[in-house]
Each structure stands twice: as structure tokens, then as C-alpha cells.
Amino acid sequence: MLHRFFEFIHRYPLSPFESFCVLLPLVIGLLRWEYFYRYLKIIWLVCLVYLLLDIPLWHGALLKQNNYYWANIQEIAVSWILILSFLWLKERPPVLLIVVCMIFSTVTAIYNFKFDTFSSWTKVIHRVIYIGLSFYFYFRVLNDLKVKNILHYPAFWIVSGMMLMACGTTLIFIFEEITVSYSNAADDVFFFYSNLIDVLKIIFTIMIGIGFWVSKYRFNE
């Protein structure tokens, strides 16, 4: 098993880093827990879900078994929590919009669920939803002007991380057949885009970590 682990790291050097990177916001979250309001606790839960659902992914990968369905389950679970988390933001979108997003996400997830490859269109729809909700968040932040120092506002860092991850990966999943399809994409293209997705997820988790870190500052003073 250890031999396979090293072989895997050699083949996908960013993958373990991407998986363990989620420990950073989890640890910072524990250190800053006393300053957390409900939204941050939910985002911390997202990180925990990432970590826990990575375990069966790693298990499958090391045993050279199909683990795509676990990746798709992880995507659905994380997306549901991320979309719902907007309900606990101070710049909350209308509940109806969240409900519509959730219905859309669920229907797409069920309809597009695949066992042996990425459910790409589910991922694309989720990313479009993230981008839309992020735009709404930015609009409210600028419109309300309740936040006095935006760099001390945890939600800004988290939503921005989500926005960057979504913008960076949407096209990759739209053109999944060319980029990250294990069976159709060229080897070098597959590895390049897999690593790019890992880098974008690392950026997302680092920005969540920054958001957790600044939670002790008072952003509205």
C-alpha cells in the first residue's frame, strides 16, 4: 500500500497536497472558533466534508479502484452546503433564489450522476451558481456599505476563493472530454488540467483559511 502511495504521489504530485491543504482552514478554524458566527461554522463543516470524503477517494485510488462516484458524491455534498451557506451571510440573497438554486443543483446532480467518470455538467452548473451567488454577494457588500474593512471580512475571502475556483474550473469541466476525461483526453493534457484543478482548489482552501484567520478582527469598525 505504501509503495502504491509513493507511486501515486510520483504520478500526481499535487493530489496529496490538495487533499491535506484542507487541514489548514480546519486548524485555523479550531484556533479561531470563539470568533466564528454561523456562516463560518458552516464553511468549516464544508472543509470537514472535503477531508472526510477524501478518505474513500484515496482508498480507491491506492487500490486502483474506480472512485469517480465518490468524487461526484463529494462534489454534490460540498455544493449543497456551499449554496445553503449563503443563507447565513449578512448579505443573504432572497431565500427563493437559494431554493431555486438547490432544486436546480439537485435535479442536475441526479440526472447527471455518473459512476465511472466526472459528472461534469453537475460541476458546471454548480460553478455557474457559485459565480451568480458571488456576484450577488459583491453587489450587496458594495451597496450596503456595512462592512468597513473588507479585508477583515471573512465572508469576502471565502466567497472570493469560491469565485476564483469556479471561474478557473468552469471551462475545464464544460470541455471535460478534452481536458480531464481519463479515457478521451491526451495524457499530458489530462495531467495538466488535473493539476490545475488541484491548484485552484488549494487557492480556495487557502482563501478559506485567510477568511477564518481574519475572523477575530472586527470588519465593521
Partner 1 sequence: MNSSDAISILIATAVLFLMAVALIGFIVFYQRKQFNLQLKQQAELQEIEAATQRQLLKNSLEVQEAERRKISKDLHDDIGGLLSATKLSIQSLGRNLKNSPEVLAQAESTKELVTEALAQVRSLSKDLTPRTLENFGLVDALYEFADKMNHASETSINLSINGLESKDRIDSGIELTLYRVVQELVNNALKHAKANHIDFKLDKKSNLITLEYKDDGVGFNYEETKNDINSGLGLDNIISRVNVINGSCQFASSSGNGTQVDIEIPI
Q: Among 45, 48, 97, 164, which residue interacts with partner 1 (rule: CB under 8 A)?
A: 164
Q: Compute the distance between CA of residue 40 and CA of residue 52 in angstroms, rounded to an integer.
A: 18
Residue among 154, 137, 160, 204 nearest 35 (CA): 154
Residue among 204, 211, 213, 206 nearest 78 (CA): 204
Q: Is 67 helix (H, G, I), strand (E, B) or coil?
A: coil
Of the pair 109, 159, the CB lying nearest partner 1 is at 159
Residues 97-126 that bind partner 1 (CB under 8 A): none
Q: How large is the greatest C-alpha to C-alpha distance in the chain, in angstroms? A: 55
Q: Among 20, 149, 182, 218, which residue interacts with partner 1 (rule: CB under 8 A)?
A: 149
Q: Among 95, 151, 182, 218, which residue interacts with partner 1 (rule: CB under 8 A)?
A: 151
- CB 174 → partner 1: shortest distance, Å? 8
- CB 54 → partner 1: shortest distance, Å? 24
Find the Cα–Cα–Cα–Cα dihedral 96, 126, 49, 195, rounded to 10°: -160
Does residue 94 come out as left (phi exceeding 0), alpha (psi in the -120 to 50 range) or beta? beta
Q: Among 74, 105, 117, 160, which residue interacts with partner 1 (rule: CB under 8 A)?
A: 160
- The length of the chain in residues reads 221
- CB 144 → partner 1: shortest distance, Å? 10
Q: Among 42, 101, 133, 163, which residue interacts with partner 1 (rule: CB under 8 A)?
A: 163
Three-state SS string over 109-141 comes to: HHHHCCCCCCCHHHHHHHHHHHHHHHHHHHHHH
* By the rule CB under 8 A, 189 interacts with partner 1: yes
* By the rule CB under 8 A, 128 interacts with partner 1: no
- CB 27 → partner 1: shortest distance, Å? 25
Residues 191-220 that bind partner 1 (CB under 8 A): 192-193, 196
Residue among 188, 170, 190, 167 nearest 178 (CA): 190
Of the pair 109, 202, the CB lying nearest partner 1 is at 202
Q: Compute the distance between CA of residue 160 and CA of residue 78 in angstroms, rounded to an integer.
A: 17
- CB 177 → partner 1: shortest distance, Å? 10
- CB 49 → partner 1: shortest distance, Å? 24
Q: Is 219 helix (H, G, I), strand (E, B) or coil?
A: coil
> Would you tell me which residues interact with partner 1 (CB under 8 A)?
138, 141-142, 145, 147-151, 156, 160, 163-164, 166-172, 175, 178-179, 185-186, 188-189, 192-193, 196
